[in-house]
Structure 1
């Protein structure tokens, strides 16, 4: 099969399209014929091995443990392990490989509990855009943020992959949404349902008078003090460690999370962190939002598999909005 393979950490030039052996499903795994995959900031960080703590976490300082990049996918079940009970060959599915990667390929093996039936109203490309970004937004707002109807939430980085889902999910949960983005994306987030749009190139949202029960940071570009300034007295700040950093940093965008953990011990505001890793339950919740028309994936650009390096290079310019997907 064809796959995007990486032998050493580095730039997009370390990625190459190669013929590799087709995998076989292990216990409770499903072999999926990939029809589309999505590019995430996670893929960029894994490709670069940046921040350095990521290399340590994966017990490999010179080369990635998983040689085939990619997490998000949508496709058709090719075969299943004997222990799999919820899926069968021919089923259209979507999901997330987890930290095993491997989705930038014609075939990939995925744990049964990390897949769900593909929403019928979505194309494979649209479905592939959902898992990691959608579950991150859902976990941040509903589970970690405990967002309630009538509350006010500010989303910093509202036009990115996670942000476009977060705006829509927050509205579906009944919240009043303030979306922070750059000028060219203001119209997009407004169309997604944001009640207030702040163009950060023209206005400093940390200097405004509005206060929010929840601030969801997807960029990591402001200080904790600035974020806390726009919270209600008992508000919550959630940090995702998102964003793109260059230059072999130790903690990268996770540095703000480390500071948040320390600061949370001494202030009244609740400061936490969140991340997404798809599972069947989370995907089922997202499917309900999608099928009801409350959430729709937004795709910025689509590339064929052989142009994966170009797709990731576009993502790391930080100008990508919404999702970047690959067709296989």
Structure 2
């Protein structure tokens, strides 16, 4: 890393640097671990090759997926991103910003365009993205609102798609409803007319109710899993209910979708419960499935249209400076976040 120069090791604000246009500041990590592995460094600015778009980042979204990659947990993720150390040392996936330059063969984008999308390494002043994973950002949507949308919004949308048809009166339970994905699931489900029950920590119930949930349960009380529950759909984002519990609260022909990896703790795959659900589902009248979301441009386009029309909202809990990425990750890991956390330059 001879082309990287450290500009801060402690505190929140970077030390002033006089660097030319060929460099940029970025959050970086050279080993797996907790928030303490994050550093704020000066590094080379990427150049857009064929099919690529270089974007000056206006805001970057922070989510649990970024935490998994930083921690290298579950261990299976290291097969994709580096066994001993991360191959891409700049974390972050979601971004919104302004196009700086485009590579050969790119159509539909030009310098100065407002865009949002997904690309590895968004916790930086500039990010290099595949043009196929970038969409135009309408006026009226802030960088922060846009950067909070891509991964969490797409995961929420795909979870509902996997759950099957929704309509007026569909009885739905959303666990982990106060987080980034959960906050979008509740809003999207209400757009479909579902009757949404939601579960979250006690101090987050008002926030979840403000998203439009019809009933909000305190997680500690266990009311969402009462004996007389009979949900048509359960979107489980919390990573806690057993397969037996999910089956007990589902209607006879109900559908459960388990989203993402199980919550923290050393694990090879982080998906033991999810895989058990998939294995037993063919033998049941109920449907149990798991979701590992993928980035689809058409999904992001649809979400942006809903946001532009005022039908969907990114709920931002807190905004941190790029040089405060360590503090932002600590805040996320502490479990107090309602909605999304974003970073700005």
> Which TM-score applies when normalising by structure 2?
0.90
Q: Does 2:128 correspond to 1:109?
A: yes
- Counterparts of residues 206-217 of structure 1 (less than 5 Å): 206-217=225-236
Q: Does 2:255 correspond to 1:255?
A: no
Q: Which string of whole-angstrom CA distances, capped at 9 and with x for unpartnered residues, describes residues 201-235 of structure 1?
A: 22332224232221101111110110111111111
1:90 to 109, 112, 131: 112
Tell me the C-alpha RMSD between the 2 structures.
1.4
- Deviation (angstroms), 1:316: 1.2
Q: Which string of whole-angstrom CA distances, capped at 9 and with x for unpartnered residues, describes residues 58-78 of structure 1?
A: 3x2210121100001000000
Deviates more, 1:83-92 or 1:197-206: 197-206
Long gaps (5+) in structure 1: none
Q: Does 2:267 correspond to 1:244?
A: no
Long gaps (5+) in structure 2: 1-23
Q: Secondary structure at the match of 2:283?
A: coil
Q: Secondary structure at the match of 1:180?
A: strand
Structure 2 match to 1:23: 46
- Counterparts of residues 1-328 of structure 1 (less than 5 Å): 1-58=24-81, 60-97=82-119, 101-141=120-160, 143-150=161-168, 151-242=170-261, 244-246=263-265, 248-252=266-270, 254-328=271-345
- List, as ranges, runs of 4+ consecutive aligned residues in structure 1 with deviation greater than 6 Å: none
Matched residue pairs, number?
Answer: 321
> Which TM-score applies when normalising by structure 1?
0.94
Rounded Cα–Cα distance in structure 2 between residues aligned with 1:119 and 1:293: 12
Rounded Cα–Cα distance in structure 1 between residues aligned with 2:253 and 2:36: 47
Rounded Cα–Cα distance in structure 2 between residues aligned with 1:242 and 1:47: 15
Q: Which string of whole-angstrom CA distances, capped at 9 and with x for unpartnered residues, describes residues 232-251 of structure 1?
A: 111111011245303x3223
Deviates more, 1:312-321 or 1:217-226: 312-321
Q: Which string of whole-angstrom CA distances, capped at 9 and with x for unpartnered residues, describes residues 271-312 of structure 1?
A: 111233333211111012112222110011110000101111
Q: Which string of whole-angstrom CA distances, capped at 9 and with x for unpartnered residues, describes residues 96-128 of structure 1?
A: 11xxx2000011111111111124222101110
- Deviation (angstroms), 1:57: 3.6
- Deviation (angstroms), 1:313: 1.2
Q: Is the 8 A contact 1:41 1:244 kept in 2?
A: no
Q: Secondary structure at the match of 2:228?
A: coil
Rounded Cα–Cα distance in structure 2 between residues aligned with 1:209 and 1:249: 34
Q: Secondary structure at the match of 1:66?
A: coil
Q: Is the 8 A contact 1:214 1:235 kept in 2?
A: yes
Q: Is the 8 A contact 2:275 2:290 kept in 1?
A: no
Q: Secondary structure at the match of 1:104?
A: coil
Q: Is the 8 A contact 1:160 1:323 kept in 2?
A: yes
Q: Give the number of the structure whose alpha-carbon radius of gyration is greater.
A: 2
